[in-house]
Amino acid sequence: RRTSAVARAVDVWADSEEKCVLRNLSYQNLESWVESIGYRKSQALMLWKYLYGDGKWAATVDEMTGLSKEFKSVVKEKAELEVLNVVRVHEATDGTRKIVSAVDGGTIETVVIPFAAGKGRNTVCVSSQVGCAMNCQFCFTGRMGLKRNLTTAEIVEQLVIACRLTADIGGVTNVVFMGMGEPLHNADNVIRAANIMVDEHGFHLSHNKVTVSTSGLVPELRRFCRESKCSVAVSLNATSDEVRNWIMPINRKYNLSSLLGALREEQVLRPNTHFFFEYVMLAGVNDSLEDADRLVELVRGIRCLVVRIRRSRGDDQMAACGQLGNLASQQPPR
Ligand code: SF4
């Protein structure tokens, strides 16, 4: 039985002149939409597999060769697939690729990071907003301010593009929401997108291979922990409120004690997982031995991993952490 919210949404689609953006829909909503255009629910599964299934990742309805001619033409008439307009792909010397896409309100960036040739592990870093409202001191995106949230389709399509780009080197194995934007400031769309990414009939990524990184929006963090089984990384970056207030202004609203307290409580509901903590080392600001000692005490009792030292990737194309949204990075490669 349809929920009343779904029924209302279907009525809107049925009456609307506007095309339905398929990648905005959860599987349940896609089923309802397929029914609303006069077809059986079972057709939705075939459509879903063409949108997200291994090796398919359709960019157009014409690529959905196994659908009946009639169904395809109705889908073509009433729905749209592509919402991103890729304007540029930069490739760094280490193989990292940064994809710049035009959307309403500006451009967004997606970074594809091959782990090592032949190892079959490729990570894609997706954006969740145009700009960001959080204003972290060390981050270029933060200086842009927030332009708007991305839709579910705009987030999911970044993964579709990355899958197509990496098809010959093993496909995408990991997704991190660490591109432009604070993902949990756009919780509705990020939760729906993350859940699409792990759906067993689609991308079928493992929950622990899809990681949402947050600066520490506590209520939305709690919500995410309850509505998705995907991994959570917290950008910690300081061991005292004084320093964190300065480098991450969100700490003035949700301080270290409320952030870490929330994680202690939420881990009870996620018994087989651990949280990740990210820590950008800023010389003379947060990298003293006292910081190291305080960090150990702060995270005591939380099942966690303080992120291993990362080799910066894609620096020569401004695709590394904290560099997204830099105008210089959006110029054509020389
Ligand atoms: Fe926003 Fe993340 Fe940059 Fe902070 S680090 S300003 S949350 S994009």
pLDDT over 70 (residue 315): no
Predicted pLDDT of residue 329: 44
Predicted pLDDT of residue 1: 33
ipTM: 0.99
Pocket of ligand 1 contains residue 181 by CB under 6 Å? yes
User: Which pLDDT tens digit goes with each residue over 47-72?
Assistant: 999 999 988 999 999 999 999 999 99
H helix runs in the chain, sequence order: 4-15, 27-36, 42-52, 69-78, 140-143, 152-165, 187-197, 218-227, 241-247, 256-266, 289-298
Q: Which of 128, 143, 182 to mutate to test the pocket of ligand 1 (most atoms within 8 A of CB)?
A: 182
Confidence of residue 116 (pLDDT cuts 50, 70, 90): low
Phi, psi of 313 (to 5 degrees): -120, 145
Q: Is the pTM of this model over 0.80?
A: yes
CA max distance for the chain:
68
Active-site residue, 91 included: no
Q: Which atom of ligand 1 is nearest to the CA of 179?
A: 8
Pocket of ligand 1 contains residue 136 by CB under 6 Å? yes
The chain-wide mean pLDDT, for the chain, equals: 89
Active-site residue, 265 included: no
Q: Which atom of ligand 1 is nearest to the CA of 178?
A: 2
Phi, psi of 55 (to 5 degrees): 80, -5
pLDDT over 50 (residue 6): no
The closest alpha carbon to 174, from 94, 103, 230, belongs to 230
Q: Which of 132, 149, 186 to mutate to test the pocket of ligand 1 (most atoms within 8 A of CB)?
A: 132
Taking CA atoms only, the protein residue closest to ligand 1 atom 6 is 142
